[in-house]
Structure 1
Amino acid sequence: MRSFLLMLQFMTRYPIPLRIEFTAQRFVQGMKWMPLIGLLVALPAAIVFAVADAVLGRELGAIAAVIVLITVTGGLHLDGIGDTADGLFCCRPRERMLEIMRDSSLGTNGVVAIVLAILLKYIFLHNIPATGALLAVLAAPVLGRMALTWHSAVARYAREERGIGEYVNRTGPAQAVAATLVSLGLVTGILFVGGVPAVLLPWMVLGLHLPPILLAILFAAYLKKHLGGITGDTIGASIELAELLSFFVFLLLWTFLI
């Protein structure tokens, strides 16, 4: 339970009135709960979306949901994708890339990446037909945080220092598989309650999980080549990218399959 609460404190802005020591063991144990953290991030966004969609229309519902997703996490993962874009697209040596990613100031590439991430989420969510949009709001954060476990499991930390790298380097395939099993259960439940036909359910669950896993692994491989590994920023970026891809997959599934 403490490992779960630790990750909830670390990944969200929910007020948890407990002081929990941040240890490598708890961090690694908490990785399997990442999909559940994603569901807790998604729930208030889904409630706001459902109300705004019914009362004010899909446009305001979609943007309201995106705003709530950002608010619950404090923009933590958007900061990651912004810093990652600044570093990767600076066309400098590896050491300089890592310095730029650590810099608290945001450059042009980072601003563009953040704006595109928000805009694309809004566009995808706005265009997902019928009830698929609400299910996407619930499931995409689950899939995004499941994907980060694979991103962390297949690469080492890029910087040679203590801190979060010490924890990330202890995350392996066992934690990623455990998180995936949790995600499979949660997403299956979301789709089942959402009325997805039983004959389509296993194929849709599989189709929603494979793309973000593949993206997370390929992104980590790219970073190993160019940065020598992953960082806290790229972990945040992997969540945002996996969420975007999940929204897009929902759009495809509900447009052509449901």
Structure 2
Amino acid sequence: MSLPLPALKQQGQIFLIALAFFTRIPIPADTPYSPELLNKANRYFALVGLVVGLISAGSFWLAHLLLPASVAVIFAMAASLLLTGAFHEDGLADVFDGFGGGWQPEQKLEIMKDSRLGTYGAAALFIVLAMKWASLTALAEVSPAFTALALFCLHGLSRAIAASLIFSYPYVRLDEQSKVKPLANEQSQQDLWVLIITSFFILLFLPLPMALTLTIALLLVRYACGRWFTRQLGGYTGDCLGACQQLAEITGYLIILAIVAQQ
């Protein structure tokens, strides 16, 4: 049964709100906004990732026509960073600063709110970016087509994994300085199903054995991150979602590289 036109229009508006919240991509100025609509935007987190992934993959492919693979990968990474304003990378750095520098959950949360970059965060950010560049460059030297496909798929799948944490764990910081305060509510079954269906659609672009391996690996990342965040904080914050997205993304690149390299 198809949705009535007003419902489809509202879903389009929610997607645009998600696009504006999670990226720097402009949306029409007359797009209606409310906290309720924004709270539903996490259902389209993976779909927004597909937009970012498509642009990142396109940047890689165009650059690779003229430049070596290692340089083309930098163009792809730069495109995603510019599109998102390093939104998720910032979360990763904050998580490692907080978890590495604090003893009690309150201390960790206070450190994570600090806009300054510490040693733990800088080290984690450097390692993750270096691993992205190294794994994608190695993949591009074997198969440029799979590199573009990996960029497209993993930007979406990693965001689905991160957003799904909202459904399973409590949000531990409800204050005015929270980066995702409007999204800090329980996720509905409908929101979760939109993420699952979007993820299934993305996996259809991959060979079946690769899709199954990726699914298992990313679910393990989700489980590990959930346990990690719960032990450290008792739940998740917006920074935790960003860290999970980054860890899932780099895990996906490494899995695809390992499979393609053995073929």
Aligned to 1:21: 33
Alignment of 1:110 with 2:121, yes or no, is yes
1:144-195 Cα shifts (integer Å, max 9, x gaps) = 111112222211111244764563332155533430211211231x33xxxx
Q: Does 1:79 align with 2:90?
A: yes
| Shift in Å, 1:220 | 1.7
How many residues align? The count is 246
Task: Give me the TM-score of the superposition, normalised by structure 2.
Answer: 0.87
**Shift in alpha-carbon separation, 1:241–1:173, aligned structure 2, 3 A:** farther
Matches within 5 A, 1:94-105: 94-105=105-116
- Give 2:219's aligned residue: 213
Residue in structure 2 matched with residue 49 of structure 1 by the alignment = 60
8 Å CA contact 2:46, 2:156 repeated in 1:
yes
CA distance in structure 2 between the aligned counterparts of 1:105 and 1:137, rounded to whole angstroms:
29
Measured after TM superposition, the shift of residue 115 of structure 1 is 1.1
Long gaps (5+) in structure 2: 1-11
- State whether residues 152 and 172 of structure 1, in contact with CA within 8 Å, keep that contact through their aligned partners in structure 2: no
Higher alpha-carbon deviation: 149-158 or 80-89: 149-158
Q: Could you tell me which residue of structure 1 aligns to residue 164 of structure 2? A: 150
Find the counterpart in structure 2 of residue 135 from structure 1: 149
Q: Match of 1:196? A: none
Q: Distance between the aligned counterparts of 1:228 and 1:31, measured in 2? A: 21
TM-aligned CA distance change 1:217 to 1:28, over 3 Å: farther
Aligned match of 2:17: 6
Query: Which residue is 1:232 aligned to?
Result: 238
The letter for the 1-side match of 2:28 is P
Contact 2:157–2:202 under 8 Å retained in 1: no
Q: Which amino acid aligns with 1:178?
A: V
Question: Structure 1 40/153 Cα, relative in aligned 2: closer, same or farther at 3 Å?
Answer: same
Normalising by structure 1, we get a TM-score of: 0.88
Shift of 1:28: 4.5
Cα pair distance change 1:166/1:39, threshold 3 Å: closer
CA drift of 1:202 comes to 2.6
Alignment match, 1:194: none
Equivalent runs, 1:172-251 vs 2, <5 Å: 172=188, 174-188=190-204, 190-191=205-206, 201-251=207-257
Give the % identical residues. 27
Work out whether residues 6 and 22 of structure 1, in 8 Å CA contact, stay in contact via their aligned partners in 2.
no
Question: Which deviations, in whole Å up to 9, do the C-alpha atoms of 1:108-149 show, x marking residues without a partner?
Answer: 111111111111100110111212111111111011111112
**Amino acid in the other structure paired with 1:114:** L
Cα shift at 1:41: 0.5
SS in 1 for 2:170: coil
Pair 1:166–1:16, CA change in 2 (3 A): closer
Q: CA deviation at 1:76?
A: 0.7
Retained in 1: the 8 A contact 2:42–2:183?
no
Does residue 90 in structure 1 map to residue 113 in structure 2?
no
Distance in 2 (CA, whole Å) between partners of 1:113 and 1:172 is 32
- Residue 195 of structure 1 corresponds to which residue in structure 2? none
**Separation of aligned partners in 2, 1:151 and 1:112:** 25
User: Does structure 2 retain, via aligned residues, the 8 Å contact 1:49–1:61?
Assistant: yes
